[in-house]
Structure 1
Amino acid sequence: MTDKLTAAEAEKEFWKSLKESNTGMLGLDKPGYHHQPMTGYGEDETGTIWFFTRDDTDFARDVAGGGQDGMFCYQAKDGKVQACIHGRLAIDQDRTRIDKYWNPVVAAWYPDGKDDPHLTLVRFDANDGRVWVSDKGALGFGYEVLKANLTKSTPDVGGVSDVKL
């Protein structure tokens, strides 16, 4: 893939990658706020990413204070897709989503299961961001770096595009 990555291609790759490798860093989009690792369940058709959390965390309390601007920073396990996505955060106790995304890993955080009084969902409505995509892999990356050094050029390691989600 070259640097001529279209917004549609970048968006498609982001949502596809998020389904396969869904952990990133989520936080409020404001100075001094520290993001935290969170597992997201993306819905490309609505531009929404859902996160389980507990209502007794600082993050949940901050989001519960009213609709907040948020940022989700993402890197796929295979390193092919990276993204920084801006959006709106809100608490949303959507029972359908709890049932849909419930799994043994999520269950480990809630001793009383789906009826745990601390179970909380955070809804992230993605607005826009930047997505980087590289299909070179580790060997391809190494080759591009070596070639760039030998030819005094820059490596072609993928493309980048701004997206409106």
Structure 2
Amino acid sequence: MSDSSTTSPSIEADRRHKLWNLIKDTRFAMFTTRHANGHLHSRPMTTQNRSVDEDDTLWFFMSRSGEPVADIQGDFVVNVSYANTDEDHYVSVSGRAALVEDRTKREQLWNKAAQAWFPQGVDDPDVALVQVKITHASYWDVKASKLTQLYEMAKSLVTGEPPRQLGETGDVRMNAR
């Protein structure tokens, strides 16, 4: 698929909607930061919002004293990847992370899972609210049944041609603000 410079606003809106539909039911994401030593580090995190914010933002709660927060302070470019193997949905999000000091937003996103990690509650001094503004995302939504996937892969081995028509892929470019 082409980027947003060659697609209509309605197609981009459809892709954004598709992107969120692939993310929303995936319980955990792998949140990747660049560590001070230059290595990429990934950790499981839970996306807190129930829909993509109007400004194309994902939200996470993290420990202020943890390495991910220190990494973000050194390099704000992150990747968040989602894999729902039960549904064959895969998403890779690139974005810009920032710590946000907004108690109202924390209260809005607070839930029992966050309470389990931060037992002092929404005002726990260790709670960091992390915002990831999406700049680009790619998704793969496999539509073919497992049997069809196996058939297409076997056919590929015989023909030397890669499997085709197994599902939908797309790129979504967000307005970098």
TM class by smaller structure: 0.7 to 0.9
In structure 2, do the counterparts of structure 1 residues 35 and 123 end up closer, same or farther at CA, with 3 Å as the change threshold? same
The question of whether the paired residues in 2 share the 8 Å contact of 1:76 and 1:82 is answered with: yes
Where does 1:106-117 land on structure 2 (aligned, <5 Å)? Answer: 106-117=114-125
Alpha-carbon distance between aligned partners in 1 of 2:61 and 2:112, rounded to the nearest angstrom? 13
Partner in structure 1 of residue 43 of structure 2:
36
Range that drifts further, 80-89 or 118-127: 80-89
Quick one: percent identity of the two aligned structures? Answer: 27
Selected match of 2:138 from 130, 141, 149 = 130
RMSD after superposition: 2.7
* 1:112-154 superposed Cα distances (whole Å, 9 cap, x missing partner): 1112111111100000132212122434423433454566654
Alpha-carbon distance between aligned partners in 2 of 1:120 and 1:56, rounded to the nearest angstrom? 9
TM-score after normalising by structure 1: 0.80
TM-score after normalising by structure 2: 0.75
Report the 3-state secondary structure (helix = DSSP H, G, I; strand = E; otherwise coil) of the residue aligned with 1:11.
Answer: helix
In structure 2, do the counterparts of structure 1 residues 136 and 93 end up closer, same or farther at CA, with 3 Å as the change threshold? farther
Partner in structure 1 of residue 57 of structure 2:
48
RCO (CA 8 Å, sep 6+): is it higher in 1 or 2? Answer: 1
Alpha-carbon distance between aligned partners in 1 of 2:148 and 2:104, rounded to the nearest angstrom? 42
Aligned length: 161
Partner in structure 2 of residue 72 of structure 1:
80
The question of whether the paired residues in 1 share the 8 Å contact of 2:76 and 2:98 is answered with: yes
C-alpha displacement at 1:10, in angstroms?
4.2
In structure 2, do the counterparts of structure 1 residues 17 and 159 end up closer, same or farther at CA, with 3 Å as the change threshold? closer
